[in-house]
Structure 1
Amino acid sequence: MICPLANVEEVFQTELGAVYQCSRKNCYWLEFQETTTSFSVSDFLLFKKRVDSIDIEKMLCDSSRTADFEILMPFRTERCFILSVEDILNLREILDGAKFMIELNGQVKTILRRGAVLAF
């Protein structure tokens, strides 16, 4: 559950999860697998990098039982993600969409600032 005192804005959402930005605490909230996890900005980007580095092809080709799931324990959280291949793909979609929207928002702000400077 997201803190009721937080000032959150939706960054990106799918049917299976969402990412919210909290401007009050300067962090991101990930809703996934019926839980909510808070990340600092840098930890969020590190978590995305870790999820992106999971070798899906290796998981699918490996017939051992240990290859069926990936366990992720994000830095500075109490959360443990146990992810199947499908979960990893769904999580990647959420994280990719959130990162794209964050970068797009940054570009829009930069362009608006340039336009404001040129108007003066």
Structure 2
Amino acid sequence: MILKEKRNTILEEVFRTEAGCVYQSDVENCFYVDFGGRAIKFSILCFFRLKTLVDKVNLPDMAACPERSSDIEIISPCACEHCYVLTLAEIAALKELLAGAKVMLELNSILKERLCRLVK
């Protein structure tokens, strides 16, 4: 994706799909979401706010609602500088990306906890 070429900071890939990638920067204490042709830096708090907002979008209702004039959703986490204007398919792809990243972060935490127990 586009992010690896632009950053000098060491970034660890957290999770990747065909639609994008989430990177973690321990140096900057943040995440980078490379999605839709843009790489956006999020603080840890904003990253999880974004995930919460994306999870709240009900895809079946969005697809089935005849009153909607279009199938786009604007997602703008509070206290974050960025917003996404996404179609139904893009929201599904972003949901998958963020869900996978969260699972990998949780798995990493569990592994570190277990390894610390073994060392003690």
How much does 1:67 deviate? 4.5
Indicate which of 76, 81, 84 corresponds to 1:81: 84
Any gaps of 5 or more consecutive residues in structure 2? none
Indicate which of 58, 61, 65 corresponds to 2:64: 61
Say which SS state the counterpart of residue 40 (structure 2) adopts. Answer: strand
Indicate which of 7, 13, 16 corresponds to 1:13: 16
Deviating 4+ runs (over 6 angstroms): none
Aligned position for 2:109: 106
What are the equivalent positions in structure 2 for 1:44-55 lying under 5 Å apart?
44-55=47-58
Normalised to the residue count of structure 2, the TM-score between the two structures is: 0.89
Distance 1:35 1:76 in 2: 19
| Identical amino acids, percent of aligned pairs | 36
Normalised to the residue count of structure 1, the TM-score between the two structures is: 0.89
Any gaps of 5 or more consecutive residues in structure 1? none
The structure that has the greater radius of gyration is 1
Compute the RMSD of aligned alpha carbons: 1.6
Aligned position for 2:7: 4
What are the equivalent positions in structure 2 for 1:24-35 lying under 5 Å apart?
24-35=27-38
Say which SS state the counterpart of residue 60 (structure 1) adopts. Answer: helix
Whether the aligned pair in 2 keeps the contact of 1:13 and 1:19 (CA below 8 Å) is yes
Distance 1:75 1:24 in 2: 24
Distance 2:51 2:88 in 1: 16
Whether the aligned pair in 1 keeps the contact of 2:46 and 2:80 (CA below 8 Å) is no
